């Protein structure tokens, strides 16, 4: 069987020298390939024509982590801790989420990606998690990206529970924003012990839709549950093709 092409979104920034740059952590590329997919980078700097062309080629989509979503997208003023906002990236990813849901394109959203899915479906975000739940759990951990620093509880009987193979996971964590008001139709399916939502699904969606707040791409070498998330996306993409 031909390997499915998986679109992988990138971060974007303008450097202090005025250079526009697109980039993504290599862990996403390796995770998609290890799961059996072929990653294709989607950047905010591609033309609309190029993105339309790529959209006919990809069979699945990964929304990656990165900077914060502009809070104007959910009707709030910017918090002092809100950072690394890219209007171009927001536009690219919000449109891709809507398109994926409308067409049934399999979608795996990671960290910022979960937040993008929520905002695309008219939800809102806590702009700085410690303001809401304190810092008993280090949602923005120090140390290695592969360190698993807190646990999440998964609702039994959900897609995530099936893919992960259990109802409790120990995960890594690199975020300071989180879901506040749920987007239309989304169902929370995992929580940290401080009640921060750690994963959502979209019941009744035309295709595979799963979003997690942690970074499984950094764990695929050591955690079978992390690899299974990417394998589930690739399997859904293969069937989509």
- Catalytic residue IDs: 111, 215, 217
The first and second tokens of residue 70, run together, are 């502009």
CA 94 to chain centre: 12
If you ran DSSP here, which 8-state letter would residue 73 be given? Answer: G
> For 21, phi and psi rounded to 5 degrees?
-140, 135
CB 172 within 8 A of CB 215: yes
Pick from 211, 234, 218: nearest CA to 159: 211
CA 86 to chain centre: 16
Q: Which of 138, 12, 19, 26 is nearest to 84 (CA)?
A: 12
Q: Identify the sign of the CA torsion 36, 37, 38, 41.
A: negative
């Amino acid at each position: 069987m031909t390997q499915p092409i998986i679109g992988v979104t990138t971060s974007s920034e303008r450097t202090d020298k005025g250079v526009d740059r697109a980039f993504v952590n290599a862990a996403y590329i390796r995770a998609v390939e290890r799961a059996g997919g072929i990653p294709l980078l989607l950047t905010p700097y591609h033309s609309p024509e190029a993105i339309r062309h790529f959209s006919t080629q990809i069979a699945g989509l990964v929304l990656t982590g990165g900077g914060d979503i502009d809070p104007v997208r959910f009707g709030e003023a910017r918090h002092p801790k809100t950072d690394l906002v890219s209007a171009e990236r927001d536009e690219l990813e919000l449109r891709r989420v809507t398109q994926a849901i409308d067409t049934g394109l399999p979608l795996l959203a990671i960290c910022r990606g979960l937040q993008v899915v929520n905002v695309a479906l008219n939800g809102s975000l806590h702009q700085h998690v410690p303001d809401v739940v304190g810092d008993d759990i280090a949602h923005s951990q120090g140390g290695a990206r592969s360190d698993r620093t807190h646990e999440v509880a998964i609702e039994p009987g959900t897609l995530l529970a099936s893919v992960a193979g259990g109802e409790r996971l120990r995960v890594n964590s690199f975020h300071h924003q989180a879901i506040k008001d749920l987007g239309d139709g989304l169902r929370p399916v995992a929580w940290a012990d401080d009640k921060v939502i750690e994963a959502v699904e979209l019941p009744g969606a035309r295709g595979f839709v799963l979003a997690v707040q942690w970074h499984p791409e950094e764990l695929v070498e050591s955690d079978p549950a992390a690899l299974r998330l990417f394998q589930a996306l690739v399997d859904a993409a293969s069937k989509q093709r």
